[in-house]
Amino acid sequence: MREIPVLEQPVIEEKKDKQSKTLLWIILVISIVCVAPAIGCGAFGFAFAIAGSQPGSTGVGPAVGVIQVEGTILSGTGGGSFGSSMAASDTIIDLIRRANDDPDVKAIVLRINSPGGGAAASDEIHHVLTQVDKPIVVSMGELAASGGYYIAAPADYIYATPHTLTGSIGVISEFIVAEELLDEFGISIEVLKSGTVKDFGSPYREMTDEERAYWQALIDEIYEEFITIVAEGRNMDKESVRELADGRVYNGSQALDLGLVDAIGYYDDAVAKAAELGGITGEPRIIEFTPTPSFFESLYSLQSTNHSSLSLELLQKLLTPTIEFRYLGP
């Protein structure tokens, strides 16, 4: 029987040492090729975000704080950077509080370009605005409708351009019903539930008359709250608001005639009015308040396309019953 040679221990250790070094070199190369560019982009994005998040002003002294509300109003954080079209309520609220706490800021301009969005998110922003102890002037952009108007209502002064679309005072809730489509493909969904309305809003079946009446009553109640918010903010009686609150939008001139805005004007007019209300003389200093993303948020936003997450969010939104202050557009 042939005897199997036994390698001496030093040779084995030498091979292990070479394998470890090889593995380390592989990891290093992968890091340089794949990770380093990501970190570099993240660092650049972080520096860019930090630069963009600093107040857009130099000098000291009394100033007008400017906050952008751009895009659909949704609950949570995010938006305001890298071209996002989302006005996240928690982020907007943070900006409002920062402006209110800044001793140099004597008045705030809220620049609104939004079709509205979630009822709860809009109401959260509105609530915080009512707690601000400084003058608030709204400058409406192309669109300040539904929830966008809801958050404008408590302002001390509102400007709209002649071609701004605003109003759309009302509540909307949409449901997808895919029952017939499922039947066509021979698909049935079995649902086990603890109560008769636990699967309310399910896309797998038609809504019952009782469920429709229940949800409509909820919408009507929130609609009354919307009317109250506008009436209080604009110093109008509720019946006058109700007459124009059928969901339609108005251009700036019509909104002025209806009492929904105070004047036709532009961003510069709003800044000048805010300076006046804040007691600032001369050319006002501007401080722009924008979100401050963390390093990892900046890195993620540059490295991820977010297509899958956006698709999942959209799917979830379509399948979940929601109540919104949102203008659907023509």
Tokens representing residue 158 in the block:
């509102």
Order of strands across the sheet that contains 86-88: 86-88, 72-74, 116-118, 324-326
Tokens representing residue 266 in the block:
């532009």
Q: What's the pLDDT score for residue 189?
A: 83
Please pick, among 89, 114, 139, 146, the residue that the annotation labels catalytic: 146
Q: 314 falls in which pLDDT band (50, 70, 90)?
A: low
CA 135/CA 126 separation, integer angstroms: 14
* pLDDT exceeds 70 at position 117: yes
Q: How far apart are the first and last CA of the chain?
A: 91
Q: 175 falls in which pLDDT band (50, 70, 90)?
A: confident
* pLDDT exceeds 90 at position 5: no
> In three state form, how does the secondary structure of the chain look?
CCCCCCCCHHHHHHHHHHHHHHHHHHHHHHHHHHHHHHHHHHHHHHHHHHHHHCCCCCCCCCEEEEEEEECEEECCCCECCCCCCEEEHHHHHHHHHHHHHCCCEEEEEEEEEECEEEHHHHHHHHHHHCCCCCCEEEEEEEEEECHHHHHHCCCCEEEECCCCEEECCCCECCCCCCHHHHHHCCCCCCCCCCCCCCCCCCCCCCCCHHHHHHHHHHHHHHHHHHHHHHHHHHCCCHHHHHHHCCCCEECHHHHHHHCCCCEECCHHHHHHHHHHHCCCCCCCEEEEECCCCCHHHHHHHHHCCCHHHHHHHHHHHHHCCCCEEECCCC
Residues in contact with 193: Cβ distance below 8 Å, sequence separation at least 6, in sequence order:
199
Q: Tell me the pLDDT tens digit for each residue of 29-40.
A: 444 444 444 444
Q: What's the pLDDT score for residue 58?
A: 58
Q: What is the mean pLDDT of residues 191-216?
A: 87
Q: What's the pLDDT score for residue 106?
A: 98
Q: What's the pLDDT score for residue 312?
A: 55
- Active site (annotated) includes residue 202: no
For residues 225 and 150, the answer to whether their CB atoms sit within 8 Å is no
Please pick, among 15, 18, 193, 198, the residue that the annotation labels catalytic: 198
Q: 199 falls in which pLDDT band (50, 70, 90)?
A: confident
DSSP bridge pairs for 249: 167
Q: What's the pLDDT score for residue 3?
A: 55
- Active site (annotated) includes residue 168: no
Q: What is the mean pLDDT of residues 145-161?
A: 98
Q: What's the pLDDT score for residue 144?
A: 97
Q: What's the pLDDT score for residue 190?
A: 84
What is the C-alpha R_g of the chain?
Answer: 28
Q: What's the pLDDT score for residue 216?
A: 94
% of the chain at pLDDT higher than 70: 71
* Least-confidence region, from 58-72, 126-140, 271-285: 58-72
DSSP bridge pairs for 286: 64
* pLDDT exceeds 80 at position 8: no
* pLDDT exceeds 60 at position 294: no
> Who wins on pLDDT, 307 or 268?
268
Q: Which long-range contacts (CB under 8 A, 24 or more apart) does 236-243 make?
A: 241/169
Q: Tell me the pLDDT tens digit for each residue of 13-67.
A: 554 454 455 445 444 544 444 444 444 444 434 343 333 344 455 568 899 999 9
Q: Average per-residue pLDDT in the chain?
A: 81
Q: What is the mean pLDDT of residues 158-166?
A: 98
For residues 283 and 51, the answer to whether their CB atoms sit within 8 Å is no
Q: What is the pTM of this model?
A: 0.75
Judged on CB neighbours under 10 Å (0-12, 13-18, 19+), 300 is middle
Cα 66–chain centre separation: 17
Q: What's the pLDDT score for residue 302?
A: 46
CA 282/CA 271 separation, integer angstroms: 12
> Who wins on pLDDT, 80 or 192?
192
